[in-house]
Structure 1
């Protein structure tokens, strides 16, 4: 799972920030975040997961109309 997160994050950073970064570095960062949250307490992990689950649709709802507005017309 961490390898997938590393590859996906590396691709996003490459595309939007135009900065090349190794996938394994992002995999190590995600492993560190998961280990830290697990070490602290499961409730903290639940709070973070809850925040991400609320944040995800908010981003999707704001980006979808923007992508419709900038879409090229069909020929």
Structure 2
């Protein structure tokens, strides 16, 4: 093992799709319950407090399957690639 070289780990397209599906399901659940999905998701990403996410449609459990930094990375990547 070479300890002088930084190793890179990439999840690949499957992980991106997994994160996208979770974000979209959580967004939909928040919208159905009458919340502002963007505000609620930003609150969760910034604070780590899962109570920002509704339990409706198991959204809270779903969003906690992904690390917050992974969600943020996916959102920034999507934004940059599509603008």
Higher relative contact order (CA 8 A, sep 6+): 2
TM-score by length of 2: 0.29
Q: TM-score, normalised by structure 1?
A: 0.32
Larger C-alpha radius of gyration, 1 or 2?
1
